[in-house]
């Protein structure tokens, strides 16, 4: 594992715990020698985690669509900043550059990005780990909803189990390192069912 893609809010969130977690996770990535791949902006938690990695001497690769360079205030101090034509190319490039995906707290954009790579894993488009950094139980309601989709027969338990979840950056990175992708893809018959 060389690079981790982090999806997170373009807002700072209502409480300081979120920025603290972004700084801690940035520091943990740099300490582990892992590059950060992210949306390339300077706003919200995105900017906080990028600055934390850079301050700790790590590498940061940003990928931002042309239209958002002003809105999300494209970060000018990154190791690499790729300005791409649109959101689709942003997401594709971020996915290609990273060896693992982590969602920190964020809004609709963060959730959309998380669900895209999570569902791509289910469909077998990639075999990289997908994770939630569950800062201060932020993702508990989402985790409960995902369990509900399994209980109600809309998702295989294997895919719920494949999701890496931890509140602590170092423990989460450890899970990513030891990740084994599920053997099945979504449409293969499951002998255990
Ligand atoms: P948010 O979590 O809504 O603050 O957004 C976090 C990041 O997700 C920002 O970089 C947004 O540009 C990005 N984003 C917003 N909407 C989408 C979308 N539909 N697809 C992919 N990324 C998005």
Whichever domain contains 108, its CATH number is 3.40.50.450
Q: Is 175 in the pocket of ligand 1 (CB under 6 A)?
A: no
For the whole model, what pTM was predicted?
0.94
Q: Is 47 in the pocket of ligand 1 (CB under 6 A)?
A: no
Range of the domain at 150: 3-177
Does some domain include residue 161? Answer: yes
Does some domain include residue 190? Answer: no
pLDDT in tens, 154-172: 999 999 999 999 999 999 9
Whether pLDDT at 87 is above 70: yes
Nearest CA to ligand 1 atom 18: 109
Strands of the sheet containing 80-84, edge to edge, are 80-84, 60-65, 35-38, 3-7, 100-103, 130-133, 164-166
pLDDT in tens, 60-83: 999 999 999 999 899 999 999 999
Does some domain include residue 158? Answer: yes
Please provide the DSSP assignment of 52-117 as one string: HHHHTT--EEEEEETTHHHHTTB-SSSSEEEEESSHHHHHHHHHHH-SEEEE-S--HHHHHHHHHH
Does some domain include residue 35? Answer: yes
pLDDT at residue 193, as a whole number: 54
Does some domain include residue 76? Answer: yes
Q: How many domains does the chain have?
A: 1
As a whole number of angstroms, the distance between CA 192 and CA 177 comes to: 27
Does some domain include residue 90? Answer: yes
Mean pLDDT, the chain, integer: 95
């Amino acid at each position: 594992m060389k690079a981790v893609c982090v999806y997170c809010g373009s807002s700072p969130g209502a409480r300081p715990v979120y920025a603290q977690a972004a700084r801690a996770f940035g520091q943990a990535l740099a300490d582990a020698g892992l590059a950060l791949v992210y949306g390339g902006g300077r706003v919200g938690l995105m900017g906080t985690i990028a600055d934390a990695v850079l301050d700790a001497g790590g590498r940061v690769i940003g990928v931002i669509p042309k239209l958002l360079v002003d809105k999300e205030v494209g970060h000018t101090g990154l190791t690499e900043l790729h300005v791409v034509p649109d959101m689709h190319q942003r997401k594709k490039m971020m996915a290609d550059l990273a060896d693992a995906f982590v969602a920190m707290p964020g809004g609709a954009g963060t959730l959309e990005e998380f669900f895209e790579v999570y569902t791509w894993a289910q469909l077998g488009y990639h075999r990289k780990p997908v994770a939630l950094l569950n800062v201060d139980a932020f993702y508990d309601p989402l985790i409960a909803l995902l369990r509900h989709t399994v209980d109600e027969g809309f998702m295989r338990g294997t895919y719920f189990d494949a999701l890496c979840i931890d509140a602590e950056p170092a423990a989460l990175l450890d899970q990513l390192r030891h990740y084994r992708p599920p053997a099945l893809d979504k449409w293969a018959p499951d002998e255990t069912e």
